[in-house]
């Protein structure tokens, strides 16, 4: 049944990118997927015998893969079923295994079949990691060092690539599928994968010790605010306040570091946007998963190989202003689009939101000032700060703690600008008290006792909050 996919055997004129010299033991990579996806773990130390067995298994995998490349028309495999491909690989394993110095167990044979199948149809060693929903980040520092963040904890896996060429080939396969390229002339790439994951990669000469890859995965099901409260990301009082803030169309900036959960929180906040409102999103790499029906999504585009055709976030934002949006959401403000974002917040698009990289609410406003300056826009500092005070109503600070948990550490209102200084008041905070014996962060959320500057606005919009929501928890 599989014969129609066969082709004449190629003359041995050289090695494929995956080929391994029979005279030389390959890099141990055969048992890259020792467990089911949920059990990818830190690589345990190996005994000498176990290491030798891994080398033999790697050799078998390489031989099977080479034979598959030489005997099958891989371009026709798009029309083959998974069962057909796996059966052909299984037959090749049965042909090659008897000539090897070890006897394969059924588990080892199945692993080899899985690995070859992923090489042919998927992302090779990365396939299982990408399919594991508990993994949020995949970080590669060369062919032998693959790390993951799983359940908030960073750990090294036993996943390995055969060599640098193997890693480069898998990377090229990933980026070419989404219309991007990476080579010596373009040694880095940023792309969005079909499942919504964000990939950034660098190769030599930019990356000194081998190809570096970062894959940021996103949940298929967005967390809502109630779930964030259950997970301890914020308190019920915080959630009630933020619900009122979104429904009353306050302009919100979510501040935090890389991987702190800014996009997750932004998606959760979007659930409070009314169904009658038109929302336009602008992003460098589309990551937002808003929970409304009337959403227009825009994504920037890098220049082509000739250096033309670039569409920046600022270009998208300018066009978004002409598309009758009620709210504009910028996935991340990081460049000269900042001035258009501030102007949009000041010109009838209240309720707009964005994220920014900063360590505190005060730092977030300073970053806004710096980005305006770096954009080459000459505006007096006093005027700029007054514009920020008028445009931004609320700064939410979210942080990734030492134990990997994410928490909203501060909710701060911007109340105005006095004597060239932005007036800010913190309404809620997270008080970090220490580390438990099992290395978990200890602390609790507190109300600072400061009454919201927007209390009257909440009343006018029918979102009046109970007075005790501001009652101080600070001693």
pLDDT attached to residue 212: 94
- The tens digit of pLDDT for each residue in 340-350 reads 899 889 888 89
pLDDT attached to residue 130: 84
pLDDT attached to residue 367: 93
Which residues on neighbouring strands pair with residue 447, listed in sequence order? 428
- Preceding peptide of 21 cis, ω within 30°: no
**Sorting pLDDT into bands at 50, 70 and 90, what band is 61?**
low
In this structure, the strands spanning 279-283 and 295-299 are: parallel
**Does the structure show a pLDDT above 70 at 400?**
yes
Q: What is the mean pLDDT of residues 251-273?
A: 91
pLDDT attached to residue 438: 85
- The tens digit of pLDDT for each residue in 85-130 reads 777 777 777 777 676 666 777 777 777 777 777 777 778 888 888 8
CB 200 within 8 A of CB 189: yes
pLDDT attached to residue 354: 94
pLDDT attached to residue 245: 95
Residue 433, Cβ density class (10 Å: 0-12 exposed, 13-18 middle, ≥19 buried): exposed
pLDDT attached to residue 49: 53
Q: What percent of the chain has pLDDT over 90?
A: 32
- The tens digit of pLDDT for each residue in 439-451 reads 888 899 999 999 9
Q: What is the mean pLDDT of residues 257-267?
A: 89
- The tens digit of pLDDT for each residue in 302-317 reads 777 777 888 888 899 9
**Does the structure show a pLDDT above 90 at 265?**
yes
Which pTM value belongs to this model?
0.75
Q: In the predicted model, what is the mean pLDDT of the chain? A: 80
Domain architecture of the chain: domains with CATH: 3-216 (3.30.450.90), 225-470 (3.40.50.300)
Pick the range with the lowest mean pLDDT from 79-93, 136-150, 181-195, 399-413: 79-93
pLDDT attached to residue 180: 80
- The tens digit of pLDDT for each residue in 194-251 reads 777 888 999 988 888 889 999 988 776 778 899 999 999 999 999 999 999 999 999 9
Which of 4-18, 174-188, 242-256 is the most confident on average? Answer: 242-256
């Amino acid at each position: 049944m599989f014969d129609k996919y066969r082709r004449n055997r190629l003359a041995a004129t050289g090695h494929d990118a995956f080929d391994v010299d029979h005279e030389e033991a390959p890099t141990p990579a055969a048992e890259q997927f020792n467990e089911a996806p949920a059990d990818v773990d830190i690589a345990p130390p190996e005994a000498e015998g176990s290491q030798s067995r891994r080398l033999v298994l790697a050799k078998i995998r390489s031989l099977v893969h080479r034979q598959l490349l030489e005997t099958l028309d891989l371009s026709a495999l798009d029309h083959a079923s998974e069962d057909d491909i796996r059966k052909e690989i299984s037959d090749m394993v049965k042909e090659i295994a008897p000539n090897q110095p070890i006897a394969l167990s059924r588990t080892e044979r199945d692993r080899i079949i899985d690995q070859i199948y992923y090489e042919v149809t998927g992302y090779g060693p990365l396939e299982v990691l990408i399919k594991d929903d508990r993994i949020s980040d995949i970080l590669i520092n060369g062919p032998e060092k693959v790390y993951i963040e799983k359940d908030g904890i960073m750990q090294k896996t036993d996943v390995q690539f055969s060599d640098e060429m193997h890693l480069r080939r898998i990377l090229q396969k990933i980026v070419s599928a989404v219309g991007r390229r990476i080579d010596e002339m373009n040694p880095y790439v940023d792309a969005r994968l079909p499942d919504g994951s964000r990939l950034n990669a660098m190769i030599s000469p930019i990356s000194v010790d081998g190809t570096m890859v970062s894959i940021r995965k996103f949940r298929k099901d967005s967390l809502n605010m109630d779930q964030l409260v259950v997970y301890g990301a914020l308190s019920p009082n915080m959630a009630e306040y933020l619900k009122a803030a979104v429904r009353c169309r306050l302009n919100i900036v979510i501040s935090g570091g890389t991987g702190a959960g800014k996009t997750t929180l932004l998606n959760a906040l979007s659930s409070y946007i009314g169904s009658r409102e038109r929302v336009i999103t602008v992003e460098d790499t589309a990551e937002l998963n808003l929970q409304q029906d009337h959403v227009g999504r825009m994504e920037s585009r890098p220049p082509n190989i000739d250096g033309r055709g670039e569409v920046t976030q600022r270009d998208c934002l300018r066009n978004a202003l002409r598309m009758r949006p009620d709210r504009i959401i910028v996935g991340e403000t990081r460049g000269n689009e900042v001035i258009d974002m501030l102007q949009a917040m000041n010109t009838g698009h209240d309720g707009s939101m964005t994220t920014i990289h900063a360590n505190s609410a005060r730092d977030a406003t300073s970053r806004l000032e710096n980005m305006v300056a770096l954009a080459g826009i000459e505006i007096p500092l006093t005027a700029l700060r007054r514009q920020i005070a008028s445009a931004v109503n609320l700064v939410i600070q979210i942080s990734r703690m030492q134990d990997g948990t994410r928490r909203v550490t501060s909710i701060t209102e911007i109340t105005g600008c006095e004597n060239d200084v932005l007036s800010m008041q913190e309404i809620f905070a997270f008080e970090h008290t220490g580390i438990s014996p099992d290395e978990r962060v200890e602390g609790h959320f507190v109300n600072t006792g400061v009454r919201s500057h927007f209390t009257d606005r909440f009343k006018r919009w029918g979102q009046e909050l109970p007075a005790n929501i501001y009652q101080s928890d600070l001693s």
